Amino acid sequence: MAYRDFQHFLQALAEQKELATISEPVSPYLEITEIADRVMKANGPALLFNHLVGPDHRFGTPNPKSAVMNQASIHPNNAPTGSRKYDYPVAINSMGSRKRMSLALSCDDFEEHADRLRKLVQAPGNVPKSLVEKLKFAMEMGREIKSTPPKDAKFAPCQEIVMQGDEVDLTQFPILTCWPEDGGPYITLPLVFTHDPTTGKRNVGMYRMQVYDRNTCGMHWQMHKTGMRQMEDAGAAGKLRFEVAVVLGGDPSHTFSAIAPLPPGVDEMAFSGFLRKEPVQMVKAKTVDVQVPADAEIVIEGYVDPSERRLEGPFGDHTGYYSLAGDFPVLHVTAITMRPKPVWPATIVGIPPMEDGWMGKAVERIFLPLIQLTVPEIVDMNLPVDACFHNVAFVSIRKKYPGHAYKVMNAIWGLGGLAFTKMVFIFDEDTNVQDIGEVLFRLGANCDPGRDTLHSRGPVDQLDHASVAEGFGGKIGFDCTHKWPGENGFSRDYPKLIKMSDDVVKRIDSIWGRLGL
C-alpha cells in the first residue's frame, strides 16, 4: 500500500511490532546515536523518541579562508551549553531491517520490485541485443517507470504552518549531533530538491546538511553529485541564487527514490509513484520555484549562492571514519513549512552495519535487472554492507570465453555508481556470492595474485580517505573463475570441484529422517 505520510508508515511499523517508543528523556546531542547504534547492530526495531531534552548547541563553525583545520579546533566551538526541551519527536532506524525496508517500499519483500523490473527486461520481444536496441529498451523502461507521474495536490499538509523572516529557526528542531568530533548538528535524512538550470529537470538527492545557525546550513554536494553540477551550471550562467527545497519525511518511497541510481531522464518522484503504485502529490514551495511532496513532515526552503563556500565538517561518516572538514556550498533558508505536529526523521551512519546498510541492499537487489540489461552475463552481485558497498563487489558471471572476467570488471567500472567500486571479484555462475564463506573459498582456490588481477584507476567516492587524491584513486579486479586452457598463460588441466553423485545424495535424503542426526 502507499502511505499517506511518514507518520502513517510509523503507524504501520507499530502495528507490525517493528517500532519501539522511547519516553525516557534523551538528548539529540550524542545520546540518540549511542542508543540507535546499539539497536542497529543488534538488528533491533525502529525507534521513536518522544521526550527530547538536551543541551542547547552553539551552532556553527568558524569560517576561515582555508578549510585546513583540525578536528580538535572545531569540536569545542560546538560543545553544548544550557538545556532545552524539544517539541518534536525523532524517528530513527525506520528502514533498518529487511522487513522494514520492504514495508517502506509498500511490499512484503523488496525483491518484488526487482521482479517488476525483471519482467520488463525479460518480456517476450524485450530482450535487446544490439546497443541501439538496448538504448531503445531503456527508453521504453523509462516510460513504464514514468507511468505514475506526480500530480498537483489539492491539499498540502506540509504547508499548514509557514515560517518566514525572523520566524525561521532551525534550532527549534532536535537535530542530531551524531558523533563526538562532528563539526556540529546534522540533518541526516534530507531529500534535497533542485532543478537543472538549463533543462528544468528535477533532481532529488540525499546530502547531509550541517546546521550553522537559525537559517544557514552546509550543503554537502560532492564533486560527482548532480546537485553540485546543477549549482555549478547555474553559477556559470551568472545566477546568484540557486533555489533548493529540503524535504523531511513523506512516504518512505520518496526517501528511497532520492538514493536510487535511476536511468537518465527518470524523475525520482515518478519512480516513487512506480514503487508505491500511486502518484506522488506535489505542491509548489512558498518562497522558491520548486515543487515538493505534499505529504512531507517539514520542508526547508532556500537558496545557494554558487560562489559561496563555508567550512563543513568533520562528520562521522558511513565509511566508519570521520570525513574531514572542507569548503562546501551554503544553504540560506528563506522559509520553513510543516504540518502541525511533525516527526523529525533521522538516521546515523558510522562503522557498519547501520540502517543505511538495508537501504543500500535494497538498491543492489532492485536495480540488479537493469545492471544485467547492460551486462547480461552477470548472474548475481553482492555489495557487502561491511565494505560500505562502493568498496567491494562480488559478482558471478556466465563465463563464455577466455578473459571474460576482465570484460565484466571494466564494464562495472563504467556503470554509474558502480564506477566507484574499488575492488571487484569475479566468480563462476555456480558461486553463491551472497555467501561470504563460499566467496572466500572460491577466491582462495581459484585466484593467483600474480596472474589473475587487473589494476586500474578512476573515480572513487569523494569521502574515500585512502585514495591517492580526493575523488580519484586505484582499482583492482580479481579473476576468481575456473581458468580455461591458455587463459593468462595457464597451461595445466584445471581440476574439478568436489561434488557427491546425485544418486547418492537422493538416497541419503530419503533415509535422513531415520538416522537420528
The grid coordinates of residue 483 equal 581458468
| Cα distance between the two ends of the chain | 44
Is the Cβ–Cβ distance between 189 and 347 less than 8 Å? yes
SS3 of 87-106: CCCEEECCCCCHHHHHHHCC
Q: How many other β-carbons are positioned within 10 Å of the β-carbon of residue 50?
A: 14
Positions marked active-site = 317
Tell me if residue 281 falls in helix, strand or coil: strand
Tell me if residue 276 falls in helix, strand or coil: helix
Which residues are bridge partners to 84 per DSSP?
A: 54
Q: Which residue, chain included where needed, has cell 533548493? A: 244
CA pair distance 45, 20, nearest whole angstrom: 6
CA pair distance 15, 20, nearest whole angstrom: 11
H or E, element range at 157: none
Phi/psi of residue 80, each to 5°? -70, 145
Q: Phi-psi region for residue 60, left (φ > 0), alpha (ψ -120 to 50) or beta? A: left
Burial of 172 (0-12, 13-18, 19+ CB in 10 A): middle
Burial of 264 (0-12, 13-18, 19+ CB in 10 A): exposed
Is the Cβ–Cβ distance between 88 and 28 less than 8 Å? no
CA pair distance 478, 190, nearest whole angstrom: 37
